Amino acid sequence: MYKQRMNHCVIENSIETKYITALLGPRRVGKSYFLDNYAKHHPERKWVFLNMDQMEQRKRVSDMQLASMISESAKQQINGKEKIWVVVDEVQKCPDIFDQIKIMYDENKDKNNIKFILTGSAVLSLHQFSAESLAGRIELHHLQAFNLREATLTKENSVPMDSILDLLTKEENSNLISEHIAHLKPFKPELEKELSQLLIWGGFPELLAITTTQEKISYLNNYLQTYLEKDVRAIETITDLNLYRNMLDVLAEQTGSVRDDQRIIEALGCTRDTLKKYRGYVEATLLFMEVYPFINSALKRLVKSPKGYLLNNGLVSLLTGLWDLDVLQKSGLIGHRLENWFLNELNTWISRSPLRQHINYWRTSSGTEVDFVVTRKPHILPFEITYGRTIDNKKIRNLKTFMQIEPKAPWGYYIYRGDFAIDEKKKIMFIPCWAVG
């Protein structure tokens, strides 16, 4: 069953422009499936699908035969009577392709007879796989693993797909948010159930359809092995695959924590330069994200190291061996899983807008902290995330402290498992996790 993606409109709009469209995201989040479905809704068009995961196709591209491959598949010349829609999967695997795409794009941009749609499970500038030649010609979009709303959507329900995050920057947002949550209330049981799954297994679409724990673990093991063998081994400067695998273990254990390089170096027995390089590749392959501190000149004594997140909770479960919700709750690590889930929600939200936006965190040397601070000019949105059902007064004080020094943050947002409430005096909204999306 095809599930509608939260940012489908912005991707589909890009596909209809004259520019090259690039759709980036980790392996198995549904990029190819999205484009296959889009093509099925436009059967009148002439589609060509290429895949740079296939060695034979890569070799032909390296031999400068991309134009011939397209013509052969379309059964017409590129400047023929019909426009050709060319989808190239895993484009970062073949660096020779970019200059050829550039030439064809420049030759045909005014004729509107070819459209390139590229997908990649790594940033296009990974290592030597550079797309610099496409600057000014390409629109980049991202597809994440399923967020809560996408995961809950089935044939049997019609859960609303509009996001509460879109309402936070609107005038009269408290009334709009109250109405939105009331509208979602009938779906609360399904949303809460799916949230528990996302905290343990993450949002890979295929995995969410698997019913048994053992099969889920097998899927994640196969995913990790494919990632190491197909993506990481192909990078020439990754010379120690075992060290890379061990680093993933450490990144999983420290997800949601402030980075401590010295501790990681001692655990892995590697140099600082090697750690920096290898961690950079995990980030470039879109599985890891560093959240940097929000720096405000009004308060100098701030923690300046980033927090690291291995973005998929399923991989965190696999690498730490913790996939039991009760055990996670008793261990005290469930809060980091909730942060990881919420970060994916923020990334999904941000991917729908062309605005320049940033996700940071804020922490002083004395320990006052706000989990996430989103800058969406002119707005600044501070979020505290907690797995608890009751209100933690310390976290409320943290929000208030931040809001006092940052006038562009008129409201603070407390994301938890309790009931929706608004404190007009403190300017804090208490939003239940199940309503986020």
Share of the chain above pLDDT 70, in %: 95
289 and 317, same structural domain? yes
Averaged pLDDT, 102-110: 93
Is 1 part of a structural domain of the chain? no
| Res 162: pLDDT | 86
Share of the chain above pLDDT 90, in %: 81
Confidence check: pLDDT of 81 > 90: no
DSSP notation for 186-242: GGHHHHHHHHHHHHHH---HHHHT--SHHHHHHHHHHHHHHIIIIIITT-TT---HH
Burial class (CB in 10 A: 0-12, 13-18, 19+), 189: exposed
Is 386 part of a structural domain of the chain? yes
174 and 129, same structural domain? no
Which range among 84-98, 163-177, 265-279 shows the weakest confidence by mean pLDDT? 163-177
What distance in Å separates the CA atoms of residue 200 and residue 197, rounded to the nearest whole number? 5
285 and 172, same structural domain? yes
Grade residue 131 by pLDDT with cuts at 50, 70 and 90. low
Averaged pLDDT, 151-179: 83
One-letter amino acid at 207 equals: L
50 and 137, same structural domain? yes
Residue where a domain stops, chosen among 143, 171, 189: 143
Q: Is the distance from CB of 363 to CB of 378 less than 8 angstroms?
A: no
Is 217 part of a structural domain of the chain? yes
Grade residue 5 by pLDDT with cuts at 50, 70 and 90. very high
Is 2 part of a structural domain of the chain? no
Measured CA to CA in angstroms, residue 195 lies from 5, 200, 225 at distances of 17, 9, 26
96 and 65, same structural domain? yes
Residues 345-361 have pLDDT tens digits of: 999 999 998 777 899 99
Q: Nearest CA to 252 among 218, 213, 202, 210?
A: 202
What distance in Å separates the CA atoms of residue 249 and residue 315, rounded to the nearest whole number? 10
Is 3 part of a structural domain of the chain? no
Residues 176-187 have pLDDT tens digits of: 899 999 999 999
Averaged pLDDT, 74-84: 91
| Res 380: pLDDT | 95
60 and 202, same structural domain? no
324 and 183, same structural domain? yes
Residue where a domain stops, chosen among 143, 174, 209: 143
169 and 134, same structural domain? no
Backbone φ and ψ for 19, nearest 5 degrees, come out as -80, 165
* Tokens 């980091």, located at residue: 336
| Res 300: pLDDT | 52
Averaged pLDDT, 272-278: 96
Averaged pLDDT, 38-46: 97
What distance in Å separates the CA atoms of residue 304 and residue 362, rounded to the nearest whole number? 9
Strand 412-416 to 379-385 pairing: parallel
| Res 356: pLDDT | 78
Confidence check: pLDDT of 132 > 80: no
Written as six digits, the tokens of 237 are 């400067």
Average pLDDT, the chain: 92
Question: Looking at residue 17, which CATH number applies to its domain?
Answer: 3.40.50.300
Averaged pLDDT, 44-59: 97
Helices marked H in 18-147 — which ranges? Answer: 31-40, 55-62, 66-74, 97-108
- What is the domain range of residue 38? 8-143
Is 47 part of a structural domain of the chain? yes
157 and 115, same structural domain? no
182 and 53, same structural domain? no
Residues 373-428 have pLDDT tens digits of: 999 888 899 999 999 999 999 999 999 999 999 989 989 999 999 999 999 999 99
Q: Is the distance from CB of 402 to CB of 409 less than 8 angstroms?
A: yes
Is 380 part of a structural domain of the chain? yes
Confidence check: pLDDT of 303 > 80: no
Confidence check: pLDDT of 125 > 80: no
Please give the residue that has the higher pLDDT: either 298 or 359.
Answer: 359
Averaged pLDDT, 160-169: 88
| Res 128: pLDDT | 42
Backbone φ and ψ for 233, nearest 5 degrees, come out as -65, -25
| Res 302: pLDDT | 62
Written as six digits, the tokens of 12 are 């589909």
Residue where a domain stops, chosen among 87, 121, 143: 143
What distance in Å separates the CA atoms of residue 312 and residue 304, rounded to the nearest whole number? 25
Which range among 130-139, 219-228, 236-245, 418-427 shows the weakest confidence by mean pLDDT? 130-139
213 and 114, same structural domain? no
Which range among 53-57, 80-84, 155-159, 290-294 shows the weakest confidence by mean pLDDT? 155-159
Q: Which helix (H) or strand (E) segment is 88 a member of? A: strand 84-89
352 and 224, same structural domain? yes
Backbone φ and ψ for 207, nearest 5 degrees, come out as -65, -35
Is 339 part of a structural domain of the chain? yes
Our count of domains for the chain comes to 2
* pTM for the predicted model, two decimal places: 0.94
